[in-house]
Amino acid sequence: MLFKKVGFLVAALLTGSAAFAQIHQMERRDTSAVARTYDLNPVVVTGSGHHQRMKYTATPVRMLSAKEISEQGITTFDAALTRMMPQVSMAPNSMGTFLRLNGLGNKYILILVNGQKLTGDISNNVDLNRINMSRVKRIEVLDGAASSLYGSDAIAGVINIITDQPTQQLVSVQSDTRVSGEGQFTESVTVDVYKNGFGSYTSYVHDRADSYQNTDLEYKKGSDTDTQPTIAPLFTGYRSHVFSQKFTYSPNRHLALNAFIDYSHKKTDRPETRADITGGTDYEMLYRGVRYGVGGIYKFTQRNSLQADFTVDRFRYGKEYDVATKSFDIGDYVQSKKQRTMEGQLKGVLGLTANSTTIVGADWRRDKLVATSGNIDQTAYTLAAYAQHEMKFWDCLTATFGLRYDYHENFHNRLTPKATLMYSPGPFNFRATYSAGFRAPGLDELHYHYYSVNRGKPQITFGNSSLNPERSNFFSLNAEYRTNTLAVSVTGYINRINDMVVRQDIPVDAMSLVMLQTEFPEMTTSEAVKLERYSRYVNSDRGDVKGLQVNVSANLFEGFNLSANYAYTYARTENGGEWSVLERSIRNAATVAANYHHTWGHYALNVNLNGRLQSRTYYTSYENAPGFGVWNLHTTHTFDCLRWAVIEPSIGVDNLFNRVDRRIDSTNRKYALYSPGRMLVVGLRVKFQ
């Protein structure tokens, strides 16, 4: 049935209209299907706000190309980052994916798509399934505070997903299929049409995975020795769909216009409640997102341009019942949260002199949050203006100075500066960076009046309208050696955050219980008896993250590339004069990848071996999760022997050495490794053009 639907979709998409998208002329696209080279000096945009070769950007940026992602057999956003960037970690669950970058969690990480913020989270966990991986051209990661260019939330760093729209005269259809164990299946279809300055770029992605366990036992409540069977999954299965459409028009070499819409739909697939065993649920989580916008860029000259964008992002989620309860029938939907972000951006990139680049811009943003369980219906707006000037004083010395002014409806004025200095003798770069960051507390943190019942136990959280914005100061030193065959980079940094917003647990006594029952009259007597504590958002004292990153990539000989990345992160928080390790932080992590590519006529072989190794994951209130090392092998076989099609089958093995965390689940246990073990991975890509 699924393949019939996909076939019907392909036929429908082939009737689509024409399209275009402008790409900076510094960027290149492979014209041979079997060609493969590693570019150790690619073009990036996130660090400086304008297109530059990586060697010349004063702010270090890590970049993953679509080719690198494909060669590892990766089809999901979280796998792309965790397999190739050791400073990133993720923990999947039914409430989204808990993402960490350099020791700091989701709310400190700004995720952009083509420079525009991606909205939509579930309990501060980002819904990464909204990202259309079939359109990714590259993923750029900027470590550390970046609020001078990007505003609120950019304290831990910025992840910018750059999408691909071909500009050659073509009609192209591509299908990608990937199948693996535990019901993992991904199918994507793209249709690109470009002619005479018009273009249409259409894509559909279906992604699914089954729930699974690594052990079917759990400890009984209050015991560390007595066990009982459970059907609670370690990994929560899901079914997701993402549809994207983008139109572009460029009537001449100066002007390029675009309009797009993205729709995402995701539903969890958990075991249902049963009377004879624990771990089931009465409902599935259902998520929907719609993101659309228009924009354009006018290039006065090659180095002078003006860009404007307007984007609307709507996201909602709730519970869809698949088990009848006292209050709900099968199929009933109860909305939990609805978010809407409207944002307008205006940016000018100016080459005022031959040796400088100046960026000026203005942003307007309006956020709206409606949360039924949190009793919220609130909005807030932000106005911002920023400027950045990059000046090359001599052939080997470049300085950048930036300043951003934000006016937030609730927190009023905020200034965030940035300064970088880069000295570049020959193939070496030496960089020093200072940047400030800030994060305005979310509408939920300010206004929550949250009450829910999870397995008969009430959960209560209060917002705090007296919260202060979080502020950070980021310092880094970087030394780099970069040629066409070898790139070595070492970065040390300190990131200090003040007024961190945390949830403070407060024990329930007789007096507070009366207050809570008054605040939440829907709480029954039996639920009140089980209530041990409630939460309130507060500003803690501060956070402190120190880190070291080492990145090496080498084209050792023709067709063979080796890369290795290491991240040391020491993340702590201070509250009431006591220091503790930040929740879910990882002290040591490394990723390694070896890639071999060879071409024989119209056939190309690519072999990729990659691994992630990390030390234990720290949990302040739970047992620390043990470290692990997971290795994956993937091969692709490209056949370019047909004039009208390129065929690329692939086969590989994930988790070669079958590393699995089979610890028995308990209330004091958390996990870092979610792999079900060794799995065969098979894929097929077919491109018609």
Task: Name residues whose C-beta falls within 8 Å of residue 151's C-beta, 6 or more positions apart in sequence.
Answer: 363, 365, 382, 384, 404, 406
Residue 642 has pLDDT above 80, yes or no: yes
Torsion sign across C-alpha atoms 127, 313, 101, 623: negative
Amino acid 152: pLDDT: 86
> How far, in Å, CA of 60 to CA of 435, rounded?
13
Confidence of residue 220 (pLDDT cuts 50, 70, 90): confident
Sheet order of strands, 457-462 included: 449-454, 457-462, 533-539, 501-507
> How far, in Å, CA of 674 to CA of 658, rounded?
12
Residue 24 has pLDDT above 90, yes or no: no
DSSP string spanning 508-572?
A: --HHHHHHHHHH-TT--HHHHHH--EEEEEEE-SEEEEEEEEEEEEEEEETTEEEEEEEEEEEEE
Go through 280-293 and write b for each residue having 16 or more CB atoms within 10 A of its CB, e for each that does not: bbbbbbbbbbbbeb
> How far, in Å, CA of 257 to CA of 25, rounded?
17
Amino acid 285: pLDDT: 92
Total Cβ atoms within 10 A of residue 1: 5
Confidence of residue 13 (pLDDT cuts 50, 70, 90): very low
Confidence of residue 19 (pLDDT cuts 50, 70, 90): very low
> How far, in Å, CA of 392 to CA of 398, rounded?
4
Amino acid 125: pLDDT: 66
Task: Name residues whose C-beta falls within 8 Å of residue 228's C-beta, 6 or more positions apart in sequence.
Answer: 217, 218, 219, 220, 278
Total Cβ atoms within 10 A of residue 395: 9
Averaged over 350-371, what is the pLDDT?
93
> How far, in Å, CA of 432 to CA of 434, rounded?
7
Task: Name residues whose C-beta falls within 8 Å of residue 13's C-beta, 6 or more positions apart in sequence.
Answer: 173, 189, 191, 202, 204
Confidence of residue 540 (pLDDT cuts 50, 70, 90): confident
Q: Provide the terminal-to-terminal Cα distance of the chain, rounded to the nearest Å.
A: 27
> How far, in Å, CA of 424 to CA of 180, rounded?
46
Residue 16 has pLDDT above 60, yes or no: no
* CB-based contact 284:269 (threshold 8 Å): yes
Amino acid 345: pLDDT: 96
> Percent of the chain at pLDDT above 90?
58
> How far, in Å, CA of 132 to CA of 134, rounded?
6
Averaged over 310-326, what is the pLDDT?
93
Task: Tell me which DSSP letter residue 626 carries.
Answer: P
Amino acid 256: pLDDT: 95
Amino acid 247: pLDDT: 96
Mean pLDDT of the chain: 87
Q: Vertex 174, ends 600 and 133: CA angle to 5°?
A: 105
Residue 363 has pLDDT above 60, yes or no: yes
> How far, in Å, CA of 517 to CA of 508, rounded?
11
Give the residue, 683 or 376, on which the prediction is more confident: 683
Confidence of residue 550 (pLDDT cuts 50, 70, 90): very high
Give the residue, 335 or 12, on which the prediction is more confident: 335
Homologous superfamily in CATH for domain 2-225+248-299+306-688: TonB-dependent receptor, beta-barrel domain (2.40.170.20)
* CB-based contact 166:192 (threshold 8 Å): yes
Place of tokens 């070669």: 656
Amino acid 106: pLDDT: 86
Tens of pLDDT, residue by residue over 472-488, are 999 999 999 999 899 99
Parallel, antiparallel, or unpaired: how do β-strands 109-113 and 157-163 relate? parallel
Task: Tell me which DSSP letter residue 582 carries.
Answer: P
- Tokens encoding 358: 């100046």
What backbone torsions phi and psi does residue 274 show, to the nearest 5 degrees?
A: -130, 150
Could you give the 3-state DSSP secondary structure of residue 231?
coil
Amino acid 118: pLDDT: 86
CA distances from 664 to 95, 340, 491, 619, 624 (A): 22, 40, 39, 17, 14
Q: Which of 92-96, 98-102, 440-444, 591-595 has the highest mean pLDDT?
A: 591-595
> How far, in Å, CA of 536 to CA of 460, rounded?
8
pTM surpassing 0.75?
A: yes
Confidence of residue 74 (pLDDT cuts 50, 70, 90): confident
Tens of pLDDT, residue by residue over 433-446, are 999 998 999 888 89
Angular region, 151: left φ>0, alpha ψ -120 to 50, beta rest: left
- Tokens encoding 163: 């999408």
> How far, in Å, CA of 112 to CA of 313, rounded?
12
Residue 20 has pLDDT above 90, yes or no: no
Tens of pLDDT, residue by residue over 26-71, are 333 343 455 555 677 777 787 778 888 877 888 888 888 888 888 8
Amino acid 1: pLDDT: 42
Task: Tell me which DSSP letter residue 214 carries.
Answer: S
Tens of pLDDT, residue by residue over 151-208, are 888 899 999 999 988 777 688 999 999 999 999 999 999 999 999 899 999 999 999 9
* CB-based contact 497:155 (threshold 8 Å): yes
> How far, in Å, CA of 578 to CA of 122, rounded?
30
Residue 384 has pLDDT above 70, yes or no: yes
